[in-house]
Structure 1
Amino acid sequence: MLPFQEQIISDLLEDSNGGVVVLSSGLPIHTLVASVLLLHHPSQGSLLILSASDSQKSSISRPNPSSSHNPIIPTDIPGDLPSHHRTALYSSGAVFFVTPRILIADLLTARVPPSSVCGLLILNAHRLTDTSTEAFIARILRSLSRTAYVRAFTDRPHAMIAGFAKAERIMKCLYVRRLHLWPRFHVLVSGDLEQAPPEVVDVRVPMTLAMRGIQQAVLETMDACLKELRKTNKVDVEDLTVENGLFKSFDEVVRRQLDPIWHTLGKKTKQLVSDLRTLRKLLDYLVRYDAVTYLKYLDTLRVSEGVRSVWIFAESSYKIFELAKKRVYQAVQAAGVRVIANRKSNKRRRVNGDNLKEDTGSDVNNGTIDANAGVVLEEVLEEAPKCKVLRVKNHKNITSPKEGSVSADNRGDNSDIILVVCKDERSCLQLEECIMKSPHQVMRQEWEKYLLGKAELLGLRKSNKKRAHEPKGFGILDGAVAIGSSDSSDPRGISKQENAALLAAASEISCLGSDAKSIPPIQFYALEKDERVLDIWRPSVIIVYHPDVTFVREIEVYKAENPSMKLKVYFLFYENSAELQKFEASIRRENTAFESLIRQKSLMMIPVDQDGRCIGPTTLSEPNSVVPQNSLTRKAGGRKAIEKEMQVIVDMREFMSSLPNVLHQKGMKIVPVVLEVGDYVLSPFICVERKSIVDLFQSFASGRLYHQVETMIRYYRIPVLLIEFSQDKSFSFQSSSDLGDDISATSIISKLSLLVLHFPRLRLVWSRSMHATAEIFASLKANQDEPDEHKAVRVGVPSEDGIVEDDVRAENYNTSAIELLRRLPGVTDSNYRPLMDGCQSLAELALLPVEKLAELMGGQKPAKMLREFLDAKCPTMP
């Protein structure tokens, strides 16, 4: 462990209440957590780790070879484990990974002994909010144990400043008062990392002329879209810069600002937000993928977006399509014939109508043609400049390649493994082929796939035939796209003559054989996997093909932990590129985030009690909480005592949302159970099915909502469908201009109308946010009895002997007969239940006299209507 890491642990242990640690991106959180685990003793109680990703779990559980201590390996607590087994694990004093949904349910049901948990370790603290399940757990744990601590970690400083006083709000909801900031420019951190730095070679690779033209065109188009977005006057223009547009979070920031008024925006403004995301991908893919794959992606955009996009009609956008096409091929107007070059056999194919003739000659590769009019397809297949540099560096560093791959078991301190780091797995696979073959061969293979994909669409090849050696799983970049018959004057499209030349080239493809070569000791790593590979492979040379700030810090820590190891690092940058600009901007953004956190730390106010512990937000369920004024009533000049605590029975699956946390904050008692009917039971008669907007659309599409409402109506007198909107989004399905007068099968309003018509007793409740839902629940529970947990669990579950108790007797009812009864004349929502209680079947109902019907139906008029209908004779059919 490095000295600055030891100092972090020391500072964290000073406060028995815990704290929040914010590190620079790439500094090893798993090392700090593993060090905290080494200090844990079973006699203190169990230590629970929350919100850890799969990669973080594997890193924490992996033994550190440089440590002399026996590691403490945490184990997972699965959700399907019986409750009494989980209680035994909580009391064992060990360390466990546990999901927040399981832990909060066990805390609410008293399956966790109060003194058995010594503390919580929460990872990815930047994702926490006031209503998150982790904050719910911290509040419950604080009410059960005064000695338990909470320690949170994050390496995303820019996410800690998103929103107003986010760091302070996170600390309050976790009941901690210490904020530990450890940026890269900290004196201790910089001193440790710069004591034995690796040998760094900064390789600036010039972009090709076409790549520079595409980049400039994309930036100009992005700037034009930003200018149009500024005209709306509904977005903070300070953040609308091209530099911020290079980051993925930019899309989220813009959308977060527009979400509350999204339904009032025009189609053009909404499309501009989507176009900015597309343009950012175009810049990213330009330096990540080869020329053919990039052209294929543009083809998909031409088909998928079409006339809807705003950017595609910008003044400079035509250059993107034109230059991307010139990087792969050129269709040259020539005289008479179309010549397709076969570079392997040095032959040419002349295409005259449907006839193919073979000819030989050296003039084919130079595009020499005959005297009649036609189109010549000239292959360009521009290779990636970085790939050429990578191949040169490969030959310089590898003098005696070893056969086969090197495993992690036979590595040593003087390992000669070369690690090539890319952003995604597709780039890793393609670079590996470039090492084994040649960049030109790889480009030829991609070119052949591109041509054959177009031939498949027009029926020249069977579309169900699988293309060999093509990696799958890369989303929109897979497969072929449709070819539009656009005019030849439009550079964004493909002319008919050019299309014919492409198909002719596809018909002449001959598979190129590849000679097997010995694989050098090179390992490829994709940054999207988010794994700690440096300690596993222990490379001596690292080639950073796609620079990333997080991985740069990992390299620094790896070298600082191994000062005697010789390590050489190559950084490959495209000179004067958006890639370099994004890398430098990410460093500035992180430093700015830490400066903002330092200012917040000096000004924040965290309330504490007499013992120096953070008070945090209080609720009615806590003994020392302050009762809000609206919960008290005056009576004869005095105040009435607070009534008993409200109770809400909640389905276990609902703990994936934040509503149970908000209900608990409002002072309601939460009882987690497994419900077969509904999501929330508010009283013996009120059952609520909660739907978010996304879930509502999905439930209608699958038909699940119809079944859920049907079962609620069968068992409860007041079934409620709660439609809950997000607080930061518009309280509307769509704009008023989009609402039509006609009924449509695809309209969500029409579907809701049909649902209400089919189930008249169903009540719809619209909620603006989770806090509004809590207020609605409190009003619905007014003057209602509290629900019975045991009865609610049995609803919808038949007993073993088939007998259903009175409180859940609806299961014995004939639902078809009930529907028929409710449609009879004189039968209403207020009298159909007495009719059901007064007779056993429809046959018995038909024999009841008018006097008995009037007694059951509450009046002579509805009784006569029903009696006349039952006694009416059917007309004789001719």
Structure 2
Amino acid sequence: MLTYQKQIWDTLLEQESGLVLCGKGMDTIEIVKQLVVKYSQESKFVFVFGCPENAKYKIIWECADCGIEFLPKDIEKAVGKKERDQAYAANNVYFHSPGILAKDFLLETIDPTKIEGIIIYNAESILRDPSLQTCIAYYKSHHPKGFIKAFSERPAEFTELSSVMDLLWIRFVYFSPRFEETVKNSINPCKIQIVHISIHPERASPKKKHSDKFVPVVSPEFARTFDFLSLLHKQFISEYGRQLNVSPIDSLSLPRRILEQRCTTDTHQEILSGLMFFRNAFFALIHYPPEAFYEFLDSHRPNPLNPQIWAGFAEVNPLYEAAKKYSTDSLPSPKLQYIVNILENIPKNKRVLILAEGTATVAMIAQYLSSFIPATDSKDVAGSVHSILDVDDEEPLLDPEVFGVLTAPIIMLQEMHAQADIFDTFDPDFVIFWDVTLLSVRRLEIYNTRASKNVTGYALCYDEANEMTAMETSIENENQIFTKLISKLSTISKTPLEPFVVTNREIVVDDREFRSAMPLALLKAGFKITPSVITVGDYVLTKDIVIERKAYSDLVQSLKSGRLLQQIQRMHNYYKSPMLMLEFGDVDQFNAISDRDKNGSVMAKITTIIRVFPNLRIIWGRNANECAKTLLLLSRGKDQPSLEMAQEMGNDGSNINDDSKAVRFLSVIPFLSKEHVSLICHRCKNIRELLSLPKDELMTILGPQIGIKLFSLLHSQAKNSLK
């Protein structure tokens, strides 16, 4: 380990639990690896979450090299309950899924007090993973002395540091920014030469020209397309940038999460969508072949079905016209030409790693280089595109008389962020960066220091695209984030969180609901949760009460598609007291429907549903916690739910069975889903009974639209055939 990593290691051994927050690309996986080795040697029962696949193999090999008898095992995927039970019975380190472990906790398949602790790599995922939140909360509530050691290299995700630490049940945080003295002294900066490429060579500053005076041939159509895209972006930021407090550079470099936090209205969301379009458009223009860029642009062409906030600017039509002309351009990208120029000056026995972001870019580079590398030498080219370079095309892509033939060193092409240990894997002497990113440069610095090498890097940058400026801005933004986070430390509570008090009040929760915040809210409210696969409703509170939960965004879509009507119909058919629970996020206003739905269509549809199903009750909650508390109040004095009954509801064993001709007949009707067929099976013994149902009853069972369609179909064809 490097000096700063050893310092983190020593600190974690002193602390029972803690969050380590490093700068991007600072190789925290090395510390995770050493922790897994230590706990494996000590036969500790520990779970590891969020570890990338290639890192798992690397950690297991490290344990094997250390002579550990019982190696860490991966039970994250494709492992059944029997295999998990066997794993839980042994003291070992396991790579696991928090979603599966959370359900095993709730089903009491495993005793949390037997688990020594949990290691979380990419700890920022807890903000987006309700299963991880539930898993950690249950574990710490039942085993307060168990440790949580969490790691992240994305400080931008921790702007609400106190909230994240509460979710992780952690009260200690260790900051390790790149500018910190120990970190700075631990790393030997490698030599990276910035290759300034001008889209308009005639305007380029003499200071930014390459030292060997090489000037690539730039396609006029590429330059025109870039100019129109830049002008459109500039006009967009001039019009809307102030609303999200972004400059042109910020709009292309700030982490999306920071921008999302500035969005408080629907208009802000539209502006953010526009910013993401420009990011993707610049990326596509710089990375993709001309025809692929035009395909991307064409897929975002404004139309009534695909409105764009930037559609009204005068530069839109010229941009599309320029891009269409550029799509037929055969002149290679200036960066491709520069790569060849650099390779020509590298000794043949050296190893060159070319890194680019995106598989399409890697393929484009490979295809271009195959025109220079003789077929007999293609064995010297390795990486993810080896097979592309082995292809002997009937027609060469480029004219060798114009561009020459390259006698290549050993060239390795790889997608930039495909794996964290990419430099260790290829052991390069030279690295060519198609993109210059903070993550890739820092990974090279770490590798260069650890391997005690003197790797030379070349960073290809378009001056007009501000690629270097964007990276420098990323560094400044990260430093500012760390400074703010460090200043917040004094305001963070040191008081340990109180374990949840779980009562005997049971609730059956559908497995799919563990992707929402409700299971954690139910735990906080005191419910004893039983996860299961149920086909009617999302929550079964008693033998008579079933609840379908809808978040606001899901509610609108479900109303439009008619799915909500079908779900309510199913609850109505199987339970005496069906309920619809409308959950609003903390950032949403509680009266979101009346505020956002100006034409009243959502409220009108809900009113119609209430009139069709008068026994339906609607629960309104400002957030998941309020919804959970409401369910607890509703459950008081009521009987407990039956898991067996909840599982049986919707799985009917009526006379119309899966093997019958009647079910096969119903199954081939295009507009009938499995749920529709199941409802029919529950109501009717045979086709004749189905035919005898009046139109109104079919509409009640299946919903108005499907009921009318089936009634018309049956009475125009099937009824006559059965006479």
TM-score class, shorter-chain normalisation, is 0.7 to 0.9
Structure 1 position 811, deviation (Å): 11
- Do the aligned residues in 2 keep the contact of 1:173 with 1:617 (CA within 8 Å)? no
Could you say which residue in structure 1 is the equivalent of 2:332?
383
Q: Distance in 2 between matches of 1:525 and 1:144?
A: 46
- Do the aligned residues in 2 keep the contact of 1:420 with 1:525 (CA within 8 Å)? yes
- Do the aligned residues in 1 keep the contact of 2:509 with 2:540 (CA within 8 Å)? yes
Q: Distance in 2 between matches of 1:600 and 1:558?
A: 32
- Do the aligned residues in 2 keep the contact of 1:130 with 1:173 (CA within 8 Å)? no
Q: Distance in 2 between matches of 1:736 and 1:571?
A: 47
Q: Is 1:226–2:237 an aligned residue pair?
A: yes
Q: Deviations over 1:97-130 (max 9, x none)?
A: 2211211112122221244210001122123249
Could you say which residue in structure 2 is the equivalent of 1:526?
415
Q: Is 1:10–2:4 an aligned residue pair?
A: no
Tell me the SS of whatever aligns to 1:433.
Answer: helix
Structure 1 position 556, deviation (Å): 1.1
- Do the aligned residues in 2 keep the contact of 1:327 with 1:382 (CA within 8 Å)? no
Partner letter of residue 679 of structure 1? D
Q: Distance in 2 between matches of 1:737 and 1:762?
A: 22
Q: Distance in 2 between matches of 1:200 and 1:71?
A: 43
- Do the aligned residues in 1 keep the contact of 2:501 with 2:526 (CA within 8 Å)? yes
Partner letter of residue 772 of structure 1? E
- Do the aligned residues in 2 keep the contact of 1:47 with 1:117 (CA within 8 Å)? yes
281-290 or 697-706, larger mean C-alpha shift:
697-706
Query: Where does 1:713-792 land on structure 2 (aligned, <5 Å)?
Result: 713-729=572-588, 732=592, 739=599, 759-792=613-646
Tell me the SS of whatever aligns to 1:240.
Answer: coil
Q: 1:424 to 1:71 in 2, by over 3 A?
A: farther
Structure 1 position 319, deviation (Å): 5.8
Q: 1:310 to 1:111 in 2, by over 3 A?
A: closer
Could you say which residue in structure 2 is the equivalent of 1:112?
110
- Do the aligned residues in 1 keep the contact of 2:541 with 2:641 (CA within 8 Å)? yes
Structure 1 position 535, deviation (Å): 1.6
Tell me the SS of whatever aligns to 2:353.
Answer: strand
Tell me the SS of whatever aligns to 2:51.
Answer: coil
Partner letter of residue 467 of structure 2? E
- Do the aligned residues in 1 keep the contact of 2:88 with 2:110 (CA within 8 Å)? yes
Q: Distance in 1 between matches of 2:457 and 2:696?
A: 83
Q: Is 1:679–2:538 an aligned residue pair?
A: yes
Q: Deviations over 1:349-391 (max 9, x none)?
A: xxxxxxxxxxxxxxxxxxxxxxxxxxxxxxx644322211111
**Richer in helix (by share):** 2
- CA RMSD in angstroms, aligned pairs only: 4.2
Tell me the SS of whatever aligns to 1:207.
Answer: coil
Partner letter of residue 192 of structure 2? V
In the alignment, structure 1 segments of 5+ residues that lack a partner are 330-379, 401-415, 440-468, 472-510, 608-614, 622-643, 741-746, 803-809, 829-878
Could you say which residue in structure 2 is the equivalent of 1:193?
187
Q: Distance in 2 between matches of 1:784 and 1:819?
A: 39
Q: 1:48 to 1:383 in 2, by over 3 A?
A: same
Partner letter of residue 571 of structure 2? M
Could you say which residue in structure 1 is the equivalent of 2:100?
102
Structure 1 position 168, deviation (Å): 2.2
Tell me the SS of whatever aligns to 1:40.
Answer: helix
Partner letter of residue 523 of structure 1? M
Q: Is 1:173–2:167 an aligned residue pair?
A: yes
779-788 or 126-135, larger mean C-alpha shift:
126-135
Structure 1 position 704, deviation (Å): 5.7
Q: Distance in 1 between matches of 2:280 and 2:594?
A: 28
| Pairing partner for 2:345 from 379, 387, 396 | 396
In the alignment, structure 2 segments of 5+ residues that lack a partner are 202-219, 374-386, 657-678, 701-723
- Do the aligned residues in 2 keep the contact of 1:30 with 1:59 (CA within 8 Å)? no
Partner letter of residue 425 of structure 1? T
- Do the aligned residues in 2 keep the contact of 1:115 with 1:145 (CA within 8 Å)? yes
277-286 or 423-432, larger mean C-alpha shift:
277-286
Q: Distance in 2 between matches of 1:23 and 1:55?
A: 21
Q: Deviations over 1:9-63 (max 9, x none)?
A: 11101012x1000111112122111100111147654110123344554554454
Q: Deviations over 1:447-467 (max 9, x none)?
A: xxxxxxxxxxxxxxxxxxxxx
Count of aligned residue pairs for this structure pair: 633
Partner letter of residue 543 of structure 1? I
Could you say which residue in structure 2 is the equivalent of 1:428?
362
- Do the aligned residues in 2 keep the contact of 1:256 with 1:728 (CA within 8 Å)? no
Tell me the SS of whatever aligns to 1:49.
Answer: strand
Tell me the SS of whatever aligns to 1:21.
Answer: strand
Q: 1:735 to 1:40 in 2, by over 3 A?
A: same
Partner letter of residue 639 of structure 2? D
Tell me the SS of whatever aligns to 2:345.
Answer: helix
- Do the aligned residues in 2 keep the contact of 1:79 with 1:102 (CA within 8 Å)? no
Partner letter of residue 74 of structure 1? P
- Do the aligned residues in 2 keep the contact of 1:722 with 1:767 (CA within 8 Å)? yes
Q: Is 1:24–2:30 an aligned residue pair?
A: no
Could you say which residue in structure 1 is the equivalent of 2:154?
156
Q: Is 1:547–2:436 an aligned residue pair?
A: yes
Q: 1:91 to 1:275 in 2, by over 3 A?
A: same
- Do the aligned residues in 1 keep the contact of 2:254 with 2:477 (CA within 8 Å)? no
Structure 1 position 542, deviation (Å): 1.0
Tell me the SS of whatever aligns to 1:547.
Answer: coil
Could you say which residue in structure 2 is the equivalent of 1:418?
352
- Do the aligned residues in 2 keep the contact of 1:105 with 1:672 (CA within 8 Å)? yes
Partner letter of residue 775 of structure 1? K
Q: Distance in 2 between matches of 1:812 and 1:432?
A: 58
| Pairing partner for 1:616 from 488, 497, 514 | 497
Q: 1:600 to 1:301 in 2, by over 3 A?
A: same
Tell me the SS of whatever aligns to 2:348.
Answer: coil
Could you say which residue in structure 1 is the equivalent of 2:247?
241
Tell me the SS of whatever aligns to 1:151.
Answer: strand
Query: Where does 1:486-497 land on structure 2 (aligned, <5 Å)?
Result: none
Partner letter of residue 35 of structure 2? V
Could you say which residue in structure 2 is the equivalent of 1:202?
194
Q: 1:214 to 1:775 in 2, by over 3 A?
A: same
| Pairing partner for 2:478 from 585, 590, 610 | 590
Q: Deviations over 1:520-562 (max 9, x none)?
A: 6312111253443222221222111111111111111111111
- Do the aligned residues in 2 keep the contact of 1:177 with 1:606 (CA within 8 Å)? yes
Could you say which residue in structure 1 is the equivalent of 2:451?
562
Q: Distance in 2 between matches of 1:68 and 1:708?
A: 56
Q: Distance in 2 between matches of 1:26 and 1:226?
A: 30
Q: Distance in 1 between matches of 2:461 and 2:486?
A: 32
Q: 1:200 to 1:312 in 2, by over 3 A?
A: same
- Do the aligned residues in 1 keep the contact of 2:263 with 2:269 (CA within 8 Å)? no
Q: Distance in 2 between matches of 1:246 and 1:521?
A: 35
- Do the aligned residues in 1 keep the contact of 2:368 with 2:397 (CA within 8 Å)? no
- Do the aligned residues in 1 keep the contact of 2:655 with 2:681 (CA within 8 Å)? no
Partner letter of residue 242 of structure 1? P
- Do the aligned residues in 1 keep the contact of 2:32 with 2:121 (CA within 8 Å)? no
- Do the aligned residues in 2 keep the contact of 1:724 with 1:768 (CA within 8 Å)? yes
**Under a length normalisation based on structure 1, what TM-score does the superposition of the two structures give?**
0.64
- Do the aligned residues in 2 keep the contact of 1:328 with 1:382 (CA within 8 Å)? no
Structure 1 position 397, deviation (Å): 1.5
**Under a length normalisation based on structure 2, what TM-score does the superposition of the two structures give?**
0.76
Q: Distance in 1 between matches of 2:23 and 2:254?
A: 18
174-183 or 128-137, larger mean C-alpha shift:
128-137
Query: Where does 1:335-414 land on structure 2 (aligned, <5 Å)?
Result: 381-399=330-348
